[in-house]
Every structure is written in C-alpha cells, then in structure tokens.
Structure 1
C-alpha cells in the first residue's frame, strides 16, 4: 500500500493564504521587526555581568589577594596565551569526542528502553520505582565503579556521560510514546498500514517533539558532567586542563578555561536547539 505521509513529508505550507482570483498564491507576512529594547537586552545583560566581574575582582578585592588573579585583565592575557599555544584545541577535541560517544550510547539505550516502557503500561509501572531510584543518583557517584570496571582513560568518562544522558532521553521517549493517540493507530491499521508504516507515519511524528526535547536536555547535562569527569585519570580534555592549571597555581588560566567551557557549552546548546527543532519550524525561521 501507499505509505501514510506526514505533514512534514508533504511539505505543506501552513502559512500560505488561499489562491487569489488570478491564480497566484499570496503569502502572509509572519516576520515582525524586533523592538530595539529586545535587541539590546542581551547586550545589556552581558555588559552588566562583565562589569560586576570587574568590580568584584579588580575593585573590591584587596591588593595582592588571590581574587585579583581572576580579574578580567589577567584572564584575557591567559586566554590569548592558551589560544596561541594551541593545546586548548586538542583538549576541546578530546572533550567533544567523549561527549559524542557518551551521547550515542545514551541515545541507543534510552530510545530503545523508553519505547518499550512507554508502549506497555505494566512495564512502566513495574520499572518506575527502580528507574526513579537510579535517576536520582548523581552520575559522579558512579565514578569509582566506572574506574574499577573500565580502568583509566576515555572509557570511564564516556560511561559517566552515558549514565548522565540516558535518563532524560529515556523518560522523554517513554512520555512521547505514551502520549500517542490510540485512535490514530487504529485508523492507520484500518487503512492497511504495515507495522513500519505505522511507526514512521504515526508513532514517530507524535513522539518526536518529546524525544528531541529529551536529547537537547541530555546534551546540556552531559556537558556539565563531562568536565569534572575528565579530572579522573585522563591526560587530555578541558577538565584535565583545569586540574593541571590548578596544580600549577595558574589561576588566571582557570578562569580563561571556564570562559572557554561556557562559550562552547552555549554554542552546543544553540546548535542543538536549531538542529533538533522540527523541520517546519526551521524552514519558518529561515524565511
């Protein structure tokens, strides 16, 4: 039979107006000019944060105190030195590899388990106490277990990232599958749709927003956990770079690395937010 097509596959233009008498399609204008206050608000927030940083570390701090090592001026010098040295790029590559590998494992396990749990109420009720118990354990609590099982190196860090990311993906997938309208499934089966066509044309479009939201949440949490996990027996990565700077008493390097970690995390979240939104929303935003 002919597969059931989703609205995205049909590429319907929801915002399109009816055709005019002359046969031309007229489009509604959905974009609005951004007020100047809204455009300046992020810039103002950043300026205020930088001003507070400078005031606390360069004005309030007593001369010769350690707090002055975290001021903007020495941090900027350390940041320039790190970028010229190039080692921060190698550390960033190592961190991104561990993040990607851990997220891949978490997505494979979380989607599979979440689909089973969401599809069967008895399975959901039976696994809820154990899952809630495991979910509330800090991922870093598993660090000694991961090191005991996998030794030192990339493997325990990847395992900790996967243990962090699996829960939002699993819970979001189960919630999305649980919210699929049974009437839609019955209609698809009544039209003779195969199991794969039901999954592709009914189940996936219904559960997709929940799953993508869980993946984005998992990316953010995993990036936060990755840095302290890299302080456990590895010789590369941004977490290791911070630990190494602390051992060398290079406090301005620590602040510079914190800035790098924050900027990379912000970029990752912005990219994930754009990539994981439905195709129709991406097309509307691009207009």
Structure 2
C-alpha cells in the first residue's frame, strides 16, 4: 500500500450536485507524487467536474481534498494561492489570449507577479519554446497566426513556465494530428521526468492515455469504477473498461443520446 507521503492529492468521499443532479457520488481518489494520472470515462460521467474540483475551480458539497497533506477546505486563501502558483494548467483549446503575443502568453503569470523584467520574461519564453520544439522567433507572433498544434504547444510552454510540480492537462491532444499528438505526449512524459512533476489529465484519446499514464482512473455515473495502470487497461475483465476501450454500444455504461 502507498504511504501517505507518496500522495500529492488525496480526495475522500467527494460529492457534487448541480440543482437536482448528483454528479459526483462519493469519489475517493489518490494522486501519487511524480506520476501521471489520467481520468477517463464516457461523456457525462463526472470526470470533468472531478477535474475542476481537484483544481479548486469548483467547490465540493461534501468530502475532503488534501494537497500535500493539507486539507484544501481549511487552508487560508493566501496559502491556497501559493499552492496554485506551483501548478501548471494546459487548457483543452490552448486558452491563449489573442491580444497578447506568444511570449506574453507564456509568461503571463510571471509578468503579472511583477518579480521579473519583461526582458527576463522574454528570455524565459524563448527557452520554453525550445523545450516544446518551437522556434524562439515565434515570441512576437500573435496566437491567431499559429496552427492549432502550435497553439497547443505554446499552451504547454505556458503550463511549465514556473517549473511546476503539478500539471493539470485538459484533453492535451484533442484536435491534433497524430504526429503533433505524439510530440505533446513526449513533452508530458519528459516534464514528469525532468521536473519531477505530477500530472492529472483528462483524455478521450486512448492512444494518448496509453502513452502518458502511470495510473488510469475510470469514472462512470459519478463514481470510480476502475483504477489501474496503462498496461492493465486492455487486460482487465472490468465490464466498464471493456465496453469503453472496445467502443461497444451495449454494456453497463449508459450514455444519454
């Protein structure tokens, strides 16, 4: 069994409802330090809501979320913000600001904090662009002049600008061609290795799930129905997993159409 100090995040009996719809129904989940955990499940399963609750973007109705052993619901706002400054986030559609240049997007947080000069921030942006396989010459370009794949890579450069210990990745390869998807997966794996980072991802692409995940957690109808490694995903006899990975219309997963 994993000891407490190996968990970066531990969520216990998480409940969340919207009006009369009970979306999360007593979820327990452990996020191990230094590993990549991916949430999978059908549309409407509750995985996106859980993802946002773990980030602190949504308040939970019941339960507890511990971050490095600290109960998130009981820590001060200043402590919570300090924790969040050590996180990186990659949004599903890049989340870049159209009115800012590439380098300003990458270093948005650093510039707003006011701890470094714009010249220093520009240099950091150049370094991060190189890490994600883009030319530093793109620093002064605006996002609308970039392809979708390039925007995603800029988004990833922004996510790692603080050398974070925790990365939240929302559909990191959605809408990308196979080659760019492979590159993004490599950046994720390299970040976990080089930064010693922990990643929490949502992905609907099973190839991506297979490539980036140490731990996979399947959510269905607001509950955890399976938890295992990437190597176990295609071997388990779990009926939910079998239906999901084999794309079967019939089985225990009921999707509203």
What range describes the TM-score normalised by the shorter chain of this pair? under 0.3
Structure possessing the higher radius of gyration over alpha carbons? 1
Structure having the larger proportion of residues in helix = 1
The structure, 1 or 2, with the larger RCO (C-alpha pairs under 8 Å, 6+ apart) is 2
TM-score by length of 2: 0.22
TM-score (norm 1): 0.21
